[in-house]
Structure 1
Amino acid sequence: MHYSGAIDACRLPGPNAQAQLAPKTVEIPVDSVKAAESKVIPADHASEGNEVTTCRRLFARDLGGGKPNLQDYRLVTIAVVRFTQSDADEAAAKASQLMTDALGDHSGVRLATGVGDEAGFSEQWAAVRTGNVVLGLAVADGGTEAALIPPATLDNVQAVVTDMTSTLQKEFQG
């Protein structure tokens, strides 16, 4: 599978993404709280020959009547790396290498930075490769009351990545 055009990361989540990731929360403008920057794909891998697009969405626990609690938030960061070589096999090989080398060994890499000692901070992430594209998703819960949001599980995150992959294959393959 080869993706030749630019990919809008914000169009990838499927209809059940919010239900999977943010129960009892409402979406709020991404600059509503000073949230930690999530690095879904290690930054040093964006280079000539690939294109990185990201999308950040922020959710907060609903206190009732649509009033968000800004002390209790969930940050969802999507990253798409599309390898742009005209040779499809070479592009797919480079995408595989990113999955294996950079994402396969995340044990020593902290995806979210600048978090400090916020109570209850937690994160989950998943990534998948299809053809010349690597999709990554990080879900970080933060704020002083982060434990009040039911934590994202690896299963939730993988379900959303699966959804995003199918959207990518339906809408962006060409």
Structure 2
Amino acid sequence: MHYPGAIDACRLPGPNAQAQLAQGTVEIPPDSIKTADAKVVPEDQPGDGNEVTGCKRLFARDLGGGKPDLQDYRLLTIAVVRFTDSDAGQAATKASQLMTDALGDHSGVRLATGVGDEAGFAEQWAAVRTGNVVLGLVIADGGTEAALIPPATLDNVQAVVTDMASTLQRNFQG
């Protein structure tokens, strides 16, 4: 499977992403809270035969009537690495290598950084490869009241990544 064109990372989450990961929350503009940056795909830079795009979506606990509690948030960080080699097999090999080397062996680098000692801060991540593309997703809960959002489980995160891969195949395949 080969994806020839640019991919909009923000258009990948399926319709159940919010229900799956952020019950009792409302989506808010991603720059409305200073959040820690989660590094989804380690040791990878755009330009060296690949294209990296990302998307940040932020949810906060709903205090009622759609009013967000900015002290209790869930951050979804999506990264898409598309290998641009014209040889589809070569591009898929590079994508496999990224999954094996960078994502398989460096679990520690995916921890969100720059977070203080907020109560209940937690993160989960997952990644999947399809053809010449690697999708990564990190879900981090933060804020001073982070324990009030039930933490995302790995099953939740994997379900969203699976949905993203389906959307990718449906909407971006060449």
Q: TM-score w.r.t. structure 2 length?
A: 0.97
Q: Which moved more, 1:160-169 or 1:108-117?
A: 108-117
Query: SS of 2:105's equivalent?
Result: coil
Distance 2:126 2:153 in 1: 11
CA apart distance, 1:136: 0.3
Identity %: 84
Q: What is the letter of the counterpart of residue 113 of structure 2?
A: T
Is the counterpart of residue 54 in structure 1 residue 64 in structure 2? Answer: no
CA apart distance, 1:43: 4.5
Cα deviation, 1:15-56, whole Å, max 9, x if unaligned, reads 100001100000001111100011101144434200000000
Q: What is the number of equivalent residue pairs in this alignment?
A: 174
Q: What is the letter of the counterpart of residue 41 of structure 1?
A: V
Q: 1:82 to 1:110 in 2, by over 3 A?
A: closer
Q: What is the letter of the counterpart of residue 138 of structure 1?
A: V
Is the counterpart of residue 145 in structure 1 residue 154 in structure 2? Answer: no
Q: What is the letter of the counterpart of residue 7 of structure 1?
A: I
Match of 1:112 in 2: 112
Moved over 4 A (4+): none
Q: What is the letter of the counterpart of residue 103 of structure 1?
A: L
Structure 1: tracts of 5 or more residues without a match: none
Q: What is the letter of the counterpart of residue 68 of structure 2?
A: P
Query: SS of 1:60's equivalent?
Result: strand
Distance 1:168 1:37 in 2: 24
Q: What is the letter of the counterpart of residue 30 of structure 1?
A: P
Q: Does the Cα contact within 8 Å between 2:43 and 2:102 map onto a contact in 1?
A: no
Structure 2: tracts of 5 or more residues without a match: none
Q: Which moved more, 1:108-117 or 1:134-143?
A: 108-117
Query: SS of 1:168's equivalent?
Result: helix
